[in-house]
A and B are shown apart, each in its own frame.
With several copies, the nearest count.
Chain A
Amino acid sequence: MAVTTSSKVLNNVEAVRETLYEAMKADDRTIILGEDVGNRGNVFLITKDFINEFGPERVIDTPIAEASIVGIAVGMAMEGLRPIAEIQFADFIYPAFNQIVGEAAKTRYRSNGEYTCPLVIRTPYGGGVRGALSHSVSIEALFYHVPGLKIVAPAFPADVKGLLNAAIDDPDPVLFLEHKKTYRLIKGEVPEGHYTIPLGKANVVKEGTQLTVVSYGLYVHWALEAAQQLQSEGLSVEVVDLRSIRPMDKATILSSVEKTRKLLIIHEDNKFGGIGAEISAMVAEEALFHLDAPIRRHCAPDVPAMGYALPLEEEYMSSPAEMAQAMREMVKF
């Protein structure tokens, strides 16, 4: 991370906006494209007024056609531009799956390095916003298996900026996931100017000795809240914010687990085949005899997504209280 002198308080929306703005200012190869990113300035107003400042050639309101939003961005990237494609909601990334998994992820590999694909795909994901079945999903587990991609899911404004800068600077395709519930909810100090946080590095956001909790996105904040609660009960929980999902940070997880000897993985996405599976498997491979309790995954139930009706959303989502309970059980195991 570069040394920066000053900082200001931003929420996650503002952190994305500021980073994109600075990227547009810094390099005219940077192009933003997506649905309603122009005059509307994106549905969360992230790129508001960009079109006036940078022009419609650099801030492209695309037709509603996700496969080509990504596909055209891949072509731009292959020919020297630095596109940042937006998928309006993560739920609508499925039509672009072919271009992300079949094309972007394989451009460098299949051409033996002749062509590259420096592309960022940003998209808001996650629930707790009454988004119902199709404006709430988590998508990371549908992509994290794919060699050639990188996936980032920051939780804090300063990480949003540092990781988005790293994604934009990265010479390979990065899927950048923004939890929409954190957009305005989460505020924090953000350094001024350009700095990057390396992809693939987790962050210990709270130290503790009796249990390691690994999470990312919105749930990092709830896990922190739960861990504070446990602290007040005299129980010591370490919270690791994954930040990057591919690559994931083995060293940080293992050194935490080797210290606490217990691992609880928490994610909003459903459990079967989710990110937690790989984390658990990695620890079971590398640190089995350091474990004093079975690894536990606290995840969403295995249903397609949360329903629109409040009780359905509440049932799908976890809560700091539920997380605290899971932590208590693990610590006391």
Chain B
Amino acid sequence: MAKTETKATSLERHGLTDEQLRQMFRNMLMQRQLDNRGFQLNRQGKVPFALGSEGHEALQAGAAMAFHRGKDILAPYYRDLGLALGIGLTPYEILLSLFARAADHNGGRQFPNHYSSKAAGLMSFSSILAAHIPHAVGAAYAIKYRKETERAVLVTCGDGTTSEGEWHESMNFAAIHKLPLVMLVENNEWAISTPLDKQMAQPEIWKRAAGYGMPGKRFNGFDPIATYGAVNEALERARSGGGPTLLEGTCYRYLAHSTDDNDMTYRTKEEVTEHRKDDPVPQFERSLLDARVMSIADVDAMKKDVLRETNDATDRAEAMPYPAASDLYTHLYEGAWQPWQ
């Protein structure tokens, strides 16, 4: 790490304070730690399923930093660990979801990574790809209809999900009504085993924006600050009545799709290794060190703290009870409706 000995480089920071830069970095470290933990718990047979956002850390930490807590709404998808953390969910909440415990927001009903938290403004979503996007549009409509300025909806999905019809219908409606919405596509080049060129003929998703009559922009999703800049600008525009934006953040999925997947059936180790050169976590670490926002000691301490918090959250979550069998029957309707009354 000879680089830390050189003079501090100046950082394009889009107005982010040192403290915010450190928060973003901590979010990224936490994502990686929790990803790791999920796969580890799966190998240990403690959880049947886990899914990682490795490669998306910068994109998600940067986007989350632009989110206004208590104001904005997030409609994420299953790969958005870093967004969930960044808007305020705790590692403990993440692990409750992973362990499917009763205290999980979903009561252990949904797959891990299907976060929801009304308190945090995180909309509930299902496993059905793209189905949450019209919900985000509806929420943005509610915000606009109630004239709640200073609020916007951030909705995310993967590159593959833009192929769904509901994606198109949502973009079109958001544009017509100039809704306070930011559609952020996390383009990691893969949809399970399907590469981008089998998903679309023209790989720059942001270019579809013009067809809908909204601004579009692409940014380097390996750079949390560039991400913050793009998402912040789009959210600000949305909050102030300027309508929706289509953003595309480029990144990469380093891990297999999930613990159920073996990515070596459809891509090579070499490809993955090649992309590892751009790994956003060490890259951002270097930037922060170079810019003297953090020292090596700071980084080490933060990594330790992230590990400690992860361990702690794991232990606490694991110790919590499963939902009871009788919980299968609750919260279907308000009140006790049966199909035969």
Contact = CB atoms under 8 A, between A and B. Distances in A.
Interface of A: 31, 35-36, 38-41, 43, 45, 48, 57-58, 61-68, 70-81, 83, 91-92, 94-95, 98-99, 102-103, 106-116, 130, 132-135, 147-148, 150, 171-172, 200-201, 246-251, 271-273, 282, 301-304, 306-312, 314-316
Q: Which 10 A-B pairs have the closest CB atoms?
A: A75-B138, A71-B134, A40-B193, A309-B108, A134-B127, A63-B163, A75-B135, A112-B107, A68-B169, A111-B124
A311 B160 CA distance: 33
A215 B143 CA distance: 43
Interface residues of B, number: 80
A39 B325 contact: no
Interface in B165-189: 165-166, 169-170, 172-173, 176
Contacts of B118: 111, 114-115
Given A35-B192, A63-B160, A80-B142, 14 more contacts: A38-B198, A62-B198, A63-B172, A63-B200, A68-B134, A78-B139, A79-B73, A98-B166, A99-B166, A106-B126, A108-B331, A110-B114, A302-B338, A303-B329
B273 to A, nearest CB: 19
A76 B140 CA distance: 8
**Which applies to chain B's interface (DSSP): helix, strand, loop or mixed?**
loop
B117 A114 contact: yes
A63 B325 contact: no
8 contacts: A38-B266, A67-B165, A71-B135, A75-B140, A78-B123, A113-B330, A114-B116, A132-B111
Given A76-B141, A103-B128, A315-B328, A63 B111 contact: no
A63 B173 contact: yes
Contacts of A72: 134-135, 137-138, 141, 170, 173
B161 interface: yes
A171 B104 CA distance: 23
A71 B169 contact: yes
Nearest to A246: B339
Contacts of A247: 337-341
Given A77-B138, A248-B341, A132 B110 contact: yes
Nearest to A39: B266
A129 B149 CA distance: 46
Contact of A62 (B73, B107, B173, B337): B173
Nearest to B129: A64
B254 interface: no
Q: Indicate the member of A81, A308, A311 with the most B CB atoms within 10 Å.
A: A308
B241 to A, nearest CB: 14
A146 to B, nearest CB: 10
B109 interface: yes
B198 A61 contact: yes
Interface string B87-117: 0000000000000111011111111101011
B138 A74 contact: yes
